[in-house]
Each structure stands twice: as structure tokens, then as C-alpha cells.
Amino acid sequence: NGNNNQEQPQDPLALIAANLNTESLSNGLASALTPWEDLINDSTDGWGLTYADLSPETESTPLGVGFLATNIAYALTGLLLTVQGDVFYGCVTELAGVVSFWYHYSQLKHGQLNSQPVKLALMVDYMTAGAALMCTGFYLLTFPQGFGQIPVEALIAGFGGLTSLGLCWVWEMGYPYLILHSLWHLLSAYAGYTVGQAHIAAFT
């Protein structure tokens, strides 16, 4: 049958995916971020791009999967804020969550310290998490009626989250890090959500 010999049309997205050179993209991004890497290293004496070795956990072990799943809190926060009308803050939070997942997935997958793929993801994570934190800080400073409009639960969750994050650098290893950094994800996402909600209410 001649019809069977005809080439079937191919999905354009499948063609793009098949020809996408991820290694080349990664190398290009790493090259573009070299000045940022140098700045972090020079400012922190090399400490800023260190990260926790989470072995024996990996991206496929139950604890590793559970840790990665805590990034869903950012996705949910971003979605809810976007639906409620704060598209900018919602999208910034979503992006921070996606990059956070990428970083921690790389951290669990590659394991060993001083891995370039993990450091690359960490550098981007600094930028997106920093953008979310700066947006949160701007909101906190611009409530029409001052700090009295900041929800108490946002302050409690924010303090707990920052404390957990700080302790991650004290116990930058294995299970303590997994627990503390999971708390940072959950508490910071909740704090961001309550700040975003209060900001929407204050300006609508």
C-alpha cells in the first residue's frame, strides 16, 4: 500500500526536543553567568557557591522526592496570588519555585561537592529567590497604613523560615539540611502568600 510508505507529519515540539543540545545550552548559560560567579566567589571567599552534600539521598529516594515536593508550596502560592489578581508577584513566586526545584534536583542528582551543574543552578536560584524576597520586602514597606497592615502570621512564618534557612548553613549536611530547608520552603511560601493577600486587599 503506497499510503503506508508516506512519511507521517512530525510534531514540531518533538523535533525541537530531539535536536535540543542541553549540554550546549548549559555551557552557554554557565559562560554568561561567569561574572556573577566571580562576584559571588570574591564577595564570600568562595563560600557562597558551596552547598550541602545530601548523599545517600538522591532525586529518586523517598526523602529526596519528599524534599523536592516541598517546592510545590511556591507553585501553589504563585497560582493563588495570580488568580487573585497579583500576576507579577504570583509569577515571580512561580519562577522562584521552578528554579528552586531545578537546583535541589541537581543537588540530589549529582551529589558530590563542587559540581558545576549544581553551582549553575544555585547561581540562578540566588537570582530568582532574591527577586521574590525583594518583591516581598517592597510590599512590606509600601502598605498604605504602615507596618500595622502586615499580617501577624506573615511575620511568624517569615521569622521561622529565615531561622530555618540560617540553620541550614550551620547543619549543611544530610538529614538536618533536608528537614530545615523543607521548612524554609513551606514557611517562606506561606509568608509570601499572606503578604501578597494583604497587599491585594490594601490596594483593591
Per-residue pLDDT of the chain (204 residues; tens, 9 = 90+): 555 555 555 555 555 445 544 455 556 666 666 676 677 767 777 677 788 989 899 999 999 999 999 999 999 999 999 999 999 999 999 999 999 999 999 999 987 777 888 888 898 999 999 999 999 999 999 998 888 899 999 999 999 999 999 999 898 888 999 999 999 999 999 999 999 999 999 988
> From the centroid of its chain, how far is CA 188?
11
Task: Report the predicted TM-score, pTM, of the whole model to 2 decimal places.
Answer: 0.81
Other C-beta atoms closer than 10 Å to the C-beta of 157 total 21
User: 3-state DSSP call for residue 160?
Assistant: helix
Distances (CA, A) of 19 to 11, 16, 25, 118: 13, 5, 12, 24
Q: For residues 84 and 4, give the distance between their C-alpha atoms in angstroms, rounded to a whole number.
A: 52
